[in-house]
Structure 1
Amino acid sequence: MPVTLINPAGLLNTDALRYRQVAIATGTRQVHIAGQVAYDANGQLVARGDLAGQVAQAFRNVAIALAAAGATFSDVVRLTFYVVDWKREMISDFLAGIEQVAEELKIKPAPASLIGVSVLFEPGVLVEIEATAVVG
């Protein structure tokens, strides 16, 4: 397996937040997924006003992009989340979105950053997810 995910002793244990502090990659091919939002295949925004629903759909879109590159969530070494008007009390809805699709997509807890932003490129879009994977 080209990716090993760990939480080193001395750093916050992030298991409950579904990410690890460190990814060690031994593969040779990098896959960079552009920010994915909660659009369906027809370009319609899914789950308007629902952070959990949009997180779930954005993850589904990341999975489609990974598959197109011959990768899966097992190959992901980094996730970056951009969330509109982020407040700490939104964590439950955010994590609920991940839980909705975690088993379906076999999401692995890769190192991640969550960045609060005032707006994304279009009104109604609440979250955008970027991914980096290493395969082979």
Structure 2
Amino acid sequence: MTELTHLRSPAGIAPGNGYSHVVWGTGRFVAVSGQCAFDEAGAIVGEGDPAAQARQVFENLRRCLAAAGASFDDVVKLTYFVTDVAHLPAIREARDAVIDTARPPASSAVQVAALFRPELLVEIEAFAISPLF
């Protein structure tokens, strides 16, 4: 695991709910493209179900991070693209199952008109700093 510093509330900034305002560390930068709720065969998981889609997205992120020698402990930033901000509680629940909530990454959430397939409700990208080999 990389030694990361999480600053949840810098001076003069209100604390975030479930995220750090600033995260930094030393290591190898890893960027994971936005992941959607596709299984290994490319089929959509959880059509119409934001919780099921979020769980699949985080599983896909886990696999991508692992391919780069990283884990959720190394994630410094998550960006959420959602078709409806009402899905955020389900997404946060899936996130909290894999992220150390005492040391959450920085994050942004953006409501979008649509993703590239109408059945998709959420897409999440990740930036990580993994240990140097």
TM over 0.5: yes
DSSP 3-state at the match of 2:32:
strand
Is the aligned partner of 1:56 residue 2:55? yes
DSSP 3-state at the match of 2:120:
coil
Runs of 4 or more consecutive aligned structure 1 residues displaced over 6 Å after TM superposition: none
Is the aligned partner of 1:95 residue 2:92? yes
Identity of aligned residues (%): 40
Pairs within 5 Å for 1:11-22: 11-14=13-16, 17-22=17-22
Residue type of the partner of 2:53?
A: Q
Tell me how far apart the structure 1 counterparts of residues 87 and 32 of structure 2 sit (CA, whole Å).
25
Is the aligned partner of 1:37 residue 2:36? yes
- 1:132 offset after TM fit, Å? 0.7
Tell me how far apart the structure 1 counterparts of residues 82 and 120 of structure 2 sit (CA, whole Å).
9
TM-score computed with the length of structure 1 as normaliser: 0.84
Tell me how far apart the structure 1 counterparts of residues 13 and 76 of structure 2 sit (CA, whole Å).
18
Tell me how far apart the structure 2 counterparts of residues 56 and 12 of structure 1 sit (CA, whole Å).
29
Aligned residues: 126
Which residue is 1:25 aligned to? 25
Alignment gaps of 5+ in structure 1: none
Tell me how far apart the structure 2 counterparts of residues 124 and 114 of structure 1 sit (CA, whole Å).
19
DSSP 3-state at the match of 2:56:
helix
Residue type of the partner of 2:74?
A: D
Tell me how far apart the structure 2 counterparts of residues 81 and 91 of structure 1 sit (CA, whole Å).
9
Alignment gaps of 5+ in structure 2: none
Tell me how far apart the structure 2 counterparts of residues 9 and 56 of structure 1 sit (CA, whole Å).
34
Residue type of the partner of 1:91?
A: L
Larger fraction in helix: 1
Residue type of the partner of 1:96?
A: E
Is the aligned partner of 1:124 residue 2:126? no
Is the aligned partner of 1:112 residue 2:113? no
Per-residue CA shift, 1:53-96, capped at 9, x if unaligned? 21111011000000000001111111111001x23x44323323
Tell me how far apart the structure 1 counterparts of residues 66 and 117 of structure 2 sit (CA, whole Å).
26
